[in-house]
Structure 1
Amino acid sequence: MSEQHQPIEGGTAERKLGGIGSRILFEDAKVRIWELALAPGERSDVHRHDLDYYLVQIGGDRIAVEPEPDSAGEYRDYFAADVVPGVVVPMKRGGVETAVNVGEQPYYEIIVELKDA
């Protein structure tokens, strides 16, 4: 996962930001496609969504999002939900968060970032 350093809002400390997924599957001038795979109890890197994107849930039973205090995304509070394989969720850029597999099954999703033209 790629790593960035970003000042934490309201302070001088820096946090490390990782990639939004486990690995990039495909990238061209229009999209970047990631996979995210998390074992039960596993957490993603803290990451920032700089582009609008779609989530495609593939497998798992329960997933949570832990937003950072300076998140400007759609979820600004802790959010957990059941996984619905095949569901596609459009999301807006701006979120700074960690995904957490709070279920008992491995979690798997595809993330399709839409690059700005």
Structure 2
Amino acid sequence: MSEPERVLGGVGTKVLFENDRVRVWELRLAPGERSDVHRHELDYVLIQIAGDRVAVQPEPDTEGPYKDCLAADIEPGMVVPIDRGGIETAINVGAKPYHEIIVELKD
């Protein structure tokens, strides 16, 4: 018997803008909330807006830069460029609501 096909969700909570060069997502997570498992098909820039601590939980078959679960403190205004390929879940492991903007860079 074969395994059921994995269904992936969106990179963020909602798309704020898209054209032929970029797609801009917003991600909001309440304390303890998890995003959908998603795949980053494009290189992107993550911009932290608010929160205190967030984690990324990579899937075993991820091709992104993070292979192990990683938690980090939030620095509002911090901009982090990340390469495509990640298959992961974002988790708000903090006590405050988490908010970020994700700018996907289309080729």
Structure 2 stretches of 5 or more lacking a match? none
Question: Which residue number in structure 2 is paired with residue 74 of structure 1?
Answer: 65
The runs of at least 4 consecutive aligned structure 1 residues that moved more than 3 Å come to none
Bigger relative contact order (CA 8 A; separation at least 6): 2
- TM-score, normalised via structure 1 length: 0.89
CA root-mean-square deviation: 0.8
Structure 1 stretches of 5 or more lacking a match? 1-10
C-alpha deviation, 1:12, in angstroms = 3.3
Partner SS, residue 14 of structure 1: coil
Question: What CA deviation, in whole Å up to 9, does each residue of 1:86-117 have, x standing for no partner?
Answer: 0000000000000000000000000000001x
Counterparts of residues 28-67 of structure 1 (less than 5 Å): 28-67=19-58
Question: Which residue number in structure 2 is paired with residue 13 of structure 1?
Answer: 4
> Which letter does structure 1 place at the counterpart of 2:22?
V
Partner SS, residue 63 of structure 1: strand
Using the aligned pairs only, state the percent identity: 67
Question: What CA deviation, in whole Å up to 9, does each residue of 1:37-91 have, x standing for no partner?
Answer: 0000000000000000000000000000000000010101000000000000000
Q: How many residues align?
A: 106
